[in-house]
Every structure is written in C-alpha cells, then in structure tokens.
Amino acid sequence: MLLRKTPQLSIDIDKETIEIIDLSQLKNCGVFERNKITKVQIEKNKASWLGTILSFIALLLEPSAVGGNSIKKNPSLKIEVDNKIISLDISGINMKTVKKIATELNKKTAHNIYN
C-alpha cells in the first residue's frame, strides 16, 4: 500500500511477511517476518522538551538568536522486529490508514500499544 509518493513510503502486508519501502530512511527498507514483530506503536506529534529547553538557553545567551519555540517530533509508526526498531515518519498520512496498518500488524503481535 503506497502511503506517500515523495519520498516514497509503502507497506505491503501479506500472510507471513511485511515489506517496507521507505526512501526517506533507507535503513527501514526490507522484508520482515510478521511472526517476529514484537511491538507496533503509533506515536503522535509531541514536543521535544530537551530541544525546547536548549532553545530557551540559546535565547538567554544570545538575545538576537531565534529561540523559545518548542521543537516537535513528527508522528511515527514504530515497528519492533528482530530486535530492531523501525521508525516510519507518518506526517501527512491519513491516521485511519495508519491505524488500519497497525491493527493488521498486531494480529500476529504480542503487544498492541497506541500513544
């Protein structure tokens, strides 16, 4: 299923395997056995508190610096398989579609976690 055209992100799920093509992060690409997936997690947008604090410190040290804005992490679909965490950037992708994929992957997964 093509989730995003540019950069390409697609996830194809069949009975025994899942194939991920993520051209924004080539390390995420591959074919994985579904029965080796241990965790599927959707992480929504959230602020990076460390980044926000560092931004404020920069503003205090250099008043002309642009700072004080919270730094947000993009939403992601995290899949733990073969002791590896695959983090897929799902910003701009319909959340119903992402939840459908997570539900399908969780059919053979020990954990089902949504944040």
Convert the pLDDT of each residue in 50-74 to its tens digit.
Answer: 666 666 666 667 665 554 455 567 8
Q: Give the mean pLDDT of 80-94.
A: 93
Locate 81 and state its tokens. Answer: 């398989």
C-beta of residue 78 within 8 angstroms of C-beta of residue 86: yes
Distance CA 71, CA 55 (A): 8
**How would residue 31 be classed by pLDDT, with cut points 50, 70 and 90?**
very high
pTM above 0.75, yes or no: no
